Structure 1
Amino acid sequence: MHLKRIIATTAALASFSLITACEDSDAGRTTAATDPSTDSGADTSTLERAQVYVQRYASCERMSTDESDSRLPLSEFTAVGKWSVTERGVCSDRVQDGEIVLYAFSDPKAFQEGYKKRVLAKIASGDRDYGLFSRVFVGKDFAVTPTETKTALKLSRSDLRILTCNPTAVVPEGYKREKAAVEGCVLSDFVASEGGEGSPNFESPQDPAGEGESGKPGQPPAGSLGLPRAGSLAELKRLVHPHTVDCTTYSTAPAALAVESIDYQPVITGAHRPWGVEERAICGEPGGAQRAHNLNWLDMVSDMELLQSRAKAAQQEDLKDDNRLKATASRLLVGENIAVETNDPSIRGGLYQLQFLSLNCEPGFSAPAGYRVEKASVEDCVLTNYEPGVEVGGQ
């Protein structure tokens, strides 16, 4: 039978609770951290409520509990009556052209124990990689298993957690790591992927310098070409205007610096001093009667390590969505004591000619021979003048 598609009402959501198992340090046991819901009398099934929740993060259409539905996987993961599973259903993620299988269960520990036994049995039979790329998202009384990695990435932003029981699996720094209901398993928001389409691993080794190796790609044979510097905002403006950044309209007024636009998102948000920036200016039309356009920001930096550290965190958060930076998000290009924030590739190309370098914290980044790739002030990031599709003078 097919279930009706349901609308997320306040009552239904109020009755819904998730868990992420966490360690009770006082009692030394696993406890359930639940949603602050109090109404448990909603007349909707667990799978219906699960669908409502999943739809907050991903497409989940044409829900069905028909065991003959062709969308269900041919190889059985688990079934009603196993692992305390009481219901099984499937819905379609039309956006990612995939399916999501949903399981309602009565005992979360029994469900997790069942999955752990399955993983260990697969490993014992010779499939040592089974469970490394788990797509088993668990909550308090239901679990979902999406077929597409992009769907998993969307669900990783929810309060559901990926259950991983392969003993060789690793959750990198920067992701949640919580104790599961059974020993030897872990709950996290890290989507592992064999092909690299999952969550970015910020512990991936970088190749910033090629120190001691002549002719290594990404490092000029004569070493660093140096970085530009300026003694004041006025000097920085003269350095970049008018040939690179159009600062015909220029302001340091707090009201202008506070301007936000969906088309031009700065690196620095809020007050600039906590980012290690002493002075800041905005170039371009901040809007008003007309839509904001050509926005770029100039920074006099007092603490470059702090600026790069906060910019790294913002960049990593952006990468978590789809492993790519938003086109409207500015990149941070730095000199010795100055920086420019811009989302315009042509402007970045001009700044590279002035020897500015872009902060890049993308896992596994590398550059072709002849481009600059130098150490940043923070780990797991580099400074570079290489961007695919962006021309740099002299390359």
Structure 2
Amino acid sequence: MRLQRIITATAALAALTTLATACEDPAKPAKPAASPLASPSAPAAASPTAAGTGTGAAPATLAEAQAYIRKYTPCEDLSSDPNDSRVNLSGYNPVGTSGITERGVCSGEKAQGEIVIHMISDMKANQQAEKDHVTKRLAEGYWDAGLYDPVFYGKTFTAFSRKTETALALAKSDLRALVCNPDFTVPEGYKKEKALVDGCVLTDFVNTRDGKGSPVKGSALPSANSIEELRKLVSPKAVDCTEMLVTNEHIASIDYLPVVGRDVQGAGIKQRAVCGQLGGATRATNLNWLDLVADMKALQTVSKDSQLAEVGKQRKLTQSKLMVGTNIAVESNNPAVRKELYKLGFLRVDCEPAFSAPAGSKIQKAQVDGCVLTDFERPMR
């Protein structure tokens, strides 16, 4: 369950256009099962006067850009020296490319709080270069390209800082972060504006790798009063329940390993059904378990015990993940199914030690200590 490993999540990189070193993506990860952040989203239209750029800031010089930024966060000792040692500028596109006419660096109040400023003559070309960079990285397998380290756009300049606190301060201005990753969705409550290039969006949402970016409000968990009601809730939007067997007996196969084992009632389940084709002469197909839950704390405890038993072990692709609502649960080992369940409001129970999720992911308190409910799923290792 992809976000059975919890939802709400999101992400960005941008404007310093194609940051090869200073703002480069980390070591190549495997693409997660589903992006729980993560269905593509069409950017909403912005006001005609601001479409594709920040909504207010239009300084003509580096000094004016500095003055604007200083309204929101420290930006001292501005320098346009190409050899400025405060930031590794070799990773940024050079002045004279991607519409960049001038570059400056100023210092924030804390380490790594430096801000890189680019004056831009052709904003569309700059945004297109960022989109091209993200598209290239995605093709190389970097699923999180462009989701983190946001670059903020004004009408005539961009600003970037690695410091989360600085990025959050910039987000309170009229500047907007450009995101060109198709798996990004602007969380509810944040601004979403049309960029100058298709496939990108401008937002005041800050997604960062340290998980301390913009907060996302949790949402109400789904519920159902019967197995049939649960079936209608998840089928056909998420689970194929064309064939469903209602039974409290333990059903497992070499293809699908549910979280809940033989003691169904001991796991707090009042009624259980399995959707899909059971194995027999042929392998099982599309098995997903639907649960009407009488004791959610007991069910989450079973999930916690199962997860802790697997710590340090190789994850099995056949192992299902537990997605829960208020009084219902679904187990699935299919990332695509989990992705759709996240959209319906289900969250995954995650009890692994030192769990963390990027900003933009949904995280709620579980009923068991040491666990959370989330729509974030780590890539398979």
TM-score interval w.r.t. the shorter chain? 0.3 to 0.5
**TM-score, structure 2 length as denominator?**
0.46
**TM-score, structure 1 length as denominator?**
0.45
More contact order relative to length (CA 8 Å, sep ≥ 6): 2
